[in-house]
Amino acid sequence: MAQLVIDNITKAFGAVEVLTDISLQIGDGEFLVLVGPSGCGKSTLLNLIAGLESITSGELLIGESVVNDLSPKNRDIAMVFQSYALYPSMTVRQNITFGMDVRGVPKVEQREKVQEVADLLQIGQLLNRRPAQLSGGQRQRVAIGRALVRDPKLFLFDEPLSNLDAKLRVEMRTEIKQLHQRLGTTIVYVTHDQIEAMTLATKIAVMNGGVIQQFGTPQDIYDNPTNVFVAEFIGSPPMNIFPGKVCSDGNSAEIQTKKSGNVVLELDRCEARDMIAPGQEILVGVRPEAFSNQAPLGAEGNVQTVDLIIDVVEPTGPDDLVIIELGGKEVVARLEPQSCAPETVSTLLIDKTKLALFDADTERNLLQS
Amino acid sequence: MISRILIYASLIVLAVIFLLPLWVLIITSLKDLDEIYAGGIMDLPQNPSLQAWARAWGTVCVGLNCTGLKAFYANTFMMAIPSVFLSTFFGAILGYILIKWRFKNSELVFGLILFGAFMPFQAILIPVSQTLSYMGVRDPVLSLIIIHTTYGIPFTTLFFRNYYVTFPDELVNAALIDGAGFFRIFFKILLPVSTPIIVVAVIFQFTGIWNDFLFGVSFASGKDVPVTVALNNIVNVTTGRKQYDLDMAAAVLAALPTLLVYIVAGKYFLRGLTAGSVKG
Ligand SMILES: Nc1ncnc2c1ncn2[C@@H]1O[C@H](COP(=O)(O)OP(=O)(O)OP(=O)(O)O)[C@@H](O)[C@H]1O
Ligand SMILES: [Mg+2]
């Protein structure tokens, strides 16, 4: 039973501050994903939680107690490392039992535990091999097994799937999700892959430059990104962002395009419509799936049509990714397959309720300011 | 093809040049004295005999002790084995600390340790002997063990530190989370994968200590001197005709252990020297 509370944590290496005022809280059994570009401080935050690095300021609670000064072994955590960190000179079995040996768990109990995780992770036939004789996926399973025998309060995963090929990654993702559903242990999971974040998490913290940009449920982050960074980081393809200017009626925005003339987007169903003033420069955000060229996309009043020239069509199978230009930016629309051709004019429907508006200067979502 | 031939030809020429002294040493040791004085240095022995070798090993007089080199072999082994073991062990521990338990100024400390590797031995002879007498150490074997261990540590520390740089921190972190402490991490996790660099350190230390003359001649005397000093005494203190056959046999005998070490473990030595630079 463990919640995790990170209260105003800052981490500096010498004079360099790599984490600034990190605060978040998850309840028992939640799956927190830390996601962000390389170098944003995800691993550092995870190492702080593990106790492998010291906290410069702020407080860290696992369960009910402050663990700032507790050594890693006393935090009741288990960690799976990016490189798996299997002990090279030991067999799989010895890797799994090493921690139990240190803690003086009786041999009989050790054997039971090994059997248990070996069955769960299907590594029974690998127990006498050394790490060098295992494939990437098998190593990863062993690394998870080593963590599982601990039965900890908190699991920490540092990019455990990043070394795997695409197919195996998807498989292991599902396995990790199933594992979490079965065990119900609290998990903190680091990745820079937003799809992993979306599929696994109950809560996501999007980080950039040592700061949490947004913390919330995956759906919330997807639907209401707090700023352009989050909007462009989450989603595949990500949200389209392009500049526009609020028209004199204060209820629509004019977008300049090179080929299709000026386009007027109606903002009357947009949640942020009260936050804008005529003449204001804004950034408009539209998810690819908010476009369509097939009626109906939603209730009558929520849809507007625009005529746009198609630049490129990229078929993916289930749908076509169609690239158009708006406000000087490439905009991707997800449309029915084979529904339009490049270099032609197409009438696109836009779901007006799905438009997000951002301040042109601060890049913050207008709803948040 | 031409370039292959050229490469092999030059390698063979170089090998011959380097092996020539050893060759002369060996054939001379097999000749008898008259033949040596009569013939050319490169002539093959007429009636090869191991008689000079037997004398060098078993009966030749070194100073007052007519026991041959074999007694001095024992002297050298007695100081070399503990010194090699201790300096390798401490180098491994220090390298481990300097890399995996970094502390404030640990790089500076490493720099200072390295400084010891560039210290000319002659410069520290007197301070060392003063320190040893201050410590109350009189025993020549113990003195030499202390000196060789101390002066080996900078080198072995360098070897192990550079080897452990490539050892992933994540493994140490994983062991920390598993609850392992300083020594358990060292003995259970790092040491089992350190064989290549242990071989390097052992060979380097063993040959260095075996071949040492300066400390041996300074801190031991009489029947306690190491084999290098004994060899010197054999070669230098002869009356009458210089006994080249005996000198040559003794020289080869004195060099034999280090030669053997290179022949047996040479390929591990090369492998270990390059192990740090190429990952995996
Ligand atoms: N020991 C250290 N000393 C100084 N700076 C460090 C140290 N460890 C990490 N950093 C810096 O802190 C920042 C965050 O590093 P961190 O490893 O947490 O990034 P990350 O988000 O995990 O990146 P990645 O996705 O590439 O793993 C980086 O700019 C890094 O250079
Ligand atoms: Mg990282």
Asked if residue B242 is part of any domain, the answer here is: no
Q: Span A227-244, mean pLDDT?
A: 94
Nearest CB to B177: which of A50, A82, A83? A50
Is residue A164 within 8 Å of A84, Cβ to Cβ? no
In a domain, B219, yes or no: yes
CATH of the domain at B192: 1.10.3720.10
Instruction: List own/partner pairs for B242-248 with CB under 8 A and 24 or more apart.
Output: B243/B33, B243/B52, B244/B28, B244/B33, B244/B36, B245/B28, B245/B29, B245/B30, B245/B31, B245/B32, B245/B33, B245/B36, B245/B51, B245/B52, B246/B29, B246/B52, B246/B55, B246/B56, B246/B60, B248/B25, B248/B26, B248/B28, B248/B29, B248/B52
Higher pLDDT, A302 or A369: A302
B184 closest CB neighbour out of A81, A82, A102: A102
Distance between CA atoms of residues B29 and B43, nearest Å? 12
Whether B142 and B206 share a structural domain: yes
d(CA A56, CA A58): 7
Contact A343, A277 (CB under 8 A): no
Query: Is B157 a domain residue?
Result: yes
- Residues B38 and B100 grouped into a single domain: no
CB contact under 8 A, A102 and B171: no
Atom nearest to A41 CA in ligand 1 = 18
Answer yes or no: is pLDDT of A369 > 70: no
pLDDT band of residue A38 (cuts 50, 70, 90) is very high
CA of A166 to the centre of ligand 1 (A): 25
Q: Which residues of B touch A162 (CB under 8 A)?
A: none
Distance of CA A52 from the midpoint of ligand 2 (Å): 14
Shortest Cα–Cα distance, B175 to chain A (Å): 8
Query: Does position A52 have pLDDT exceeding 60, yes or no?
Result: yes
- A220: Cβ contacts below 8 Å, ≥ 6 apart: none
- In this structure, are B93 and B188 located in the same domain? yes
Q: Which ligand is the nearest neighbour of the Cα of A36?
A: 1
Q: How many domains does chain B have?
A: 2
Q: Ligand 2 mean position to A294 CA, how many Å?
A: 43
Pairing of strands A240-246, A65-66: unpaired
Residue B245 lies in a domain: no
Count the helix, strand and coil residues of chain B and give each as a percent rounded to the nearest 5: 80, 0, 20
A43, A162, A191: residue to mutate for ligand 1 pocket, most atoms within 8 A of CB = A43
Tell how strand A154-158 and strand A77-80 pair up: parallel
Q: Are residues B21 and B98 in the same domain?
A: no
Q: Is residue B61 assigned to a domain?
A: no
Q: Encode pLDDT of A122-132 as tens digits.
A: 899 999 999 99
- Judged by a CB distance cut-off of 8 A, whether residue A199 touches chain B is no
| CA B22 vs CA A58, B11, B16, B61, B244: distances in Å | 71, 17, 10, 24, 14
With 80 as the cut, is the pLDDT of residue A245 above it?
yes
Q: Are residues B124 and B194 in the same domain?
A: yes
Parent domain of B19: 1-49
Q: What is the ipTM of this complex?
A: 0.82
Which residues are within 8 A (CB) of A180 and not within 5 positions of it... i.e. 6 or more apart? A31, A187, A200
B276 by DSSP, 3-state: which?
Answer: coil
B152 shares its domain with B19 = no
Compute the mean pLDDT over every residue in chain A, rounded to the nearest whole number: 92
Handedness of CA A96, A102, A105, A108 (dihedral sign): positive
Residue B45 pLDDT class (50, 70, 90 cuts):
confident
Is residue B248 one of the residues assigned to a domain?
no
pLDDT at A270 > cutoff 90: no
Same domain, B188 and B218: yes
Q: How confident is the model at residue A259 (pLDDT cuts 50, 70, 90)?
A: confident
Residues B80 and B42 in one domain: no
**Statement to judge: residues B145 and B30 lie in one domain:** no
pLDDT at B277: 44
pLDDT interval class at B48 (50, 70, 90) = confident
Q: Give the model's pLDDT for residue B269.
A: 73
Interchain proximity B179–A99, CB inside 8 Å: yes
Report yes or no on B14 lying in a domain.
Answer: yes
Q: Could you tell me if A50 lies within 8 Å of chain B, comparing CB atoms?
A: yes
**What number is the average pLDDT over the span B235-250?**
81
Say whether both B175 and B271 belong to one domain: yes
Task: Tell whether B45 and B132 lie within a shared domain.
Answer: no
- Considering only CB atoms, A85 lies closest to which of B171, B180, B192, namely B171
Index of the ligand 1 atom closest to the CA of residue A37:
25
- Pocket lined around ligand 1, Cβ cut-off 6 Å: A 13, 16, 18, 36, 38-44, 192
Distance separating alpha carbons of residues A173 and A225, to the nearest angstrom: 24
Domain identity same for B106 and B217: yes
Question: Which pLDDT belongs to residue A1?
Answer: 59
DSSP assignment of B98-144? HHHS--TTHHHHHHHHHHGGG--HHHHHHHHHHHHHHHT---HHHHH
Q: Do the Cβ atoms of B173 and A103 come within 8 Å?
A: no
pLDDT in tens, A176-209: 999 899 989 999 999 989 999 999 999 999 999 9
Token pair in block for residue A254 = 């004019």
Nearest CA-CA distance, residue A303 and chain B, Å = 53
In a domain, B56, yes or no: no
Interval B53-100: pLDDT, tens:
888 888 887 777 788 888 898 999 999 999 999 999 999 999 999 999
Exposure class string for B59-82: b at 16+ Cβ within 10 A, else e:
ebebeeeebbbebbbebbebbbeb
Query: What type of residue sits at position B51?
Result: Q
Using a 10 angstrom Cβ sphere, with 0-12 exposed, 13-18 middle and 19 or more buried, the burial of residue B185 is: buried
Cβ of residue A310 closer than 8 Å to a chain B Cβ: no
